Structure 1
Amino acid sequence: MTKSSIPAALTIAGSDSGGGAGIQADLRTFAFHCVHGTSAITCVTAQNTLGVKRVDALPAAAVMAQIQAVVEDIGVQAAKTGMLLNQEIIAVVAQQIKQLNIQNVVVDPVMVSRTGAQLIDETAVASLRELLIPLATVVTPNKYEAQLLSSLEIHNIDDMRAAAGQIYRLGAKAVLIKGGAMSGNLRGVDVWFDGQRWETLTTTQVDTDNTHGTGCTLAAAIAANLALDCDVLTAVRQAKEYVTTALQYALDIGKGQGPIGHFFPLLAKS
């Protein structure tokens, strides 16, 4: 293998001490796809399968320095953003994406949990909407985040499509509204829109309580596939397949919600 033959991807996100989501999940996902993983940590969480105990944000200048160090030396073929936590970090990340001309940007707008709990304040939400989403190759909100970004209530597939249209108008090149928080037959059904083409993406529903890290992993897998030169819709389809299989090998660890099995080929051999 030559020095430059492996693509690199960058995750700009928080650290999950429990290892199920955030930077840890993203780097495992990049490795699975044979993409070199680099990172810029935005915050450090103390968490486990039962929940988050504490969150400490890094200074925005520290986040900027990490991004610059990676891009100026190694270079990246794709990037994803996860938990950015506050307005200052969001602003500096958007600035660096533009200044360093980072391409293939997947924005996972971590604003609201799958259970509906808002994770960042309104100032940060506004910055995400105005500064970062317009730079996205694809933005991947869950039901509650899509409601917040579109100012629409989402109850059915038509609502998901209407919300996708509204979010697309914020400037992203494509929108993927995730259906993991939907109910009944819509659970796990995603809606895709790129300004011209609508797609409803379905997959096998996996019956497991161990779903920690699905959103982070999906966005990281999309970024990895983009780094490998897939077109955006193909990257999304393949990422969704990867997450579905990882859910089938979810890890029943800890006393709460375990993570998905990012390294499932090894689990299948054990």
Structure 2
Amino acid sequence: MSTHAQDRTDERAASSVVVTRIVDRLTELVEPRTTSETSWVRAHAGPCPSAPAAPVFDYAARLRRMTPEHRGVPTCVDCGYALRDGDGQRLVPRPHVVEHAPLLVQLHEAIVGSTAGTASSNGPSSRPTANLEALDAWTAVDVGARFWVAAITNSPAAGDVEHLVRDLIERAPTLDRVDARDVDQDVLRWWGRARIVTTWDTAPLKPHVPCMNCDVRGKLQVRIDPLVAVCLACGAAWDSSTIGVLGEHIRIWLGDPIPEQVEA
């Protein structure tokens, strides 16, 4: 294969990767996703007991098979027998599947929750900062998706934000290289901000350094899984392919403080 032909093949592959990334991130906005986590549960340390041979009227045997709801004690994950004090026990790993609502649904719930109970005779009260961030994230997706659907179709975009995102998902494979690059950058900002704002399990890291894009301090937030960082002030975002630059910026600010200026 010639060098030029190889270059064209590499370009097509890179474009396919970009489109796939766009679709995957947009899909998280409108579709639920599942994650598998490892839970440690109790089991017998040795072989599990066999099924009881005692008659059904044997009260002790019946109690031993009762569930925690009835007895208030844990049961062995393998055999279902209650684990009582004195039983040999061990912890074993088991996969635990968790379903997460679409990111847009989580943002909507945060926004709606921010207005619940705020009306009073004393007038409107301020909303929590986190819920204002959810509203900003929702608005960014709405305005951005509406812009791109209109630009691609050359006609005004109609419908709610979920409809617009789904429309953009369908049209992503038709994007040329330039538009795909720009859409990819915008989608990273929408998706990254939504993932940060809706974090419920592990709080994002918040390095108190200025954003390298807008220079506002205290608005950078970093999430490890998935690896994404956003600035809540200007909307800039970094993923695993670009976060190294941000990491070096943070390291310099945290490790090498800027000396105070001396007045002349």
TM-score, structure 1 as length reference: 0.24
Please identify which structure carries the higher strand content.
Answer: 1
- Higher-Rg member (1/2): 2
